[in-house]
Structure 1
Amino acid sequence: MSSTLLPKPQMRGLLAKRLRFHIVGAMIVSVGCALIYKFGVAEPRKRAYADFYKNYDSMKDFEAMKEAGVFESVQPKNS
């Protein structure tokens, strides 16, 4: 009867080997998530703010809110 010998299990350096593998994987995932957030959320948000403020007239908006009675200390014109 021939028996095959099982290879010896790795006892030394196993934690370091697995940590090295998982740290590299975690870095790749975190950089990927950061890039997805930057190009999927931050850049479109910056573009939306820039487009909004390109033609924004704060005095016109203030007058509209004043006429609507939003402010307590500012009375609308009675004309």
Structure 2
Amino acid sequence: MASGALAKPPMRGLLAKRLRFHIVGAVIVALGAATFYRFGVAEQRKKAYADFYRSYDSMKDFEEMRKAGIFQSTK
């Protein structure tokens, strides 16, 4: 009859072992997401802004908006 009994599961230190595993995994996923955001989104956005403002003429844009009648205080 003893041969059919199940072995007791190891309970001592189980929470610490599982937390260690999950914390390491969470840190790796967070660093991966931060790296993806930095190079996939932030750097591309900064480059797009730099490209836009390299050839942007604010006075020309203002004159176009003024002629279109967007501003009420200027004629």
TM norm structure 2: 0.89
SS state of the match for residue 3, structure 1?
A: helix
Cα displacement string for residues 21-50 of structure 1 (whole angstroms, at most 9, x for unaligned residues): 000000000000001111111000000000
CA offset digits 1:47-77 (Å, max 9, x no partner) = 00000000111000000000000011111xx
Distance (Å, rounded) in 1 between the aligned partners of 2:7 and 2:39: 48
Q: Which moved more, 1:57-66 or 1:6-15?
A: 6-15
1:2 Cα deviation after fit: 8.6
TM-score, normalised by the number of residues in structure 1: 0.85
- Structure 1 gaps of 5+ residues are none
Task: State the 1:3 CA deviation.
Answer: 2.6
Once the 2 structures are TM-superposed, how far is the Cα of residue 10 of structure 1 from its aligned partner? 1.2
Which runs of no fewer than 5 residues in structure 2 stay unpaired? none
Aligned-residue identity in percent? 69
**In proportion to residue count, which structure has more helix?**
2
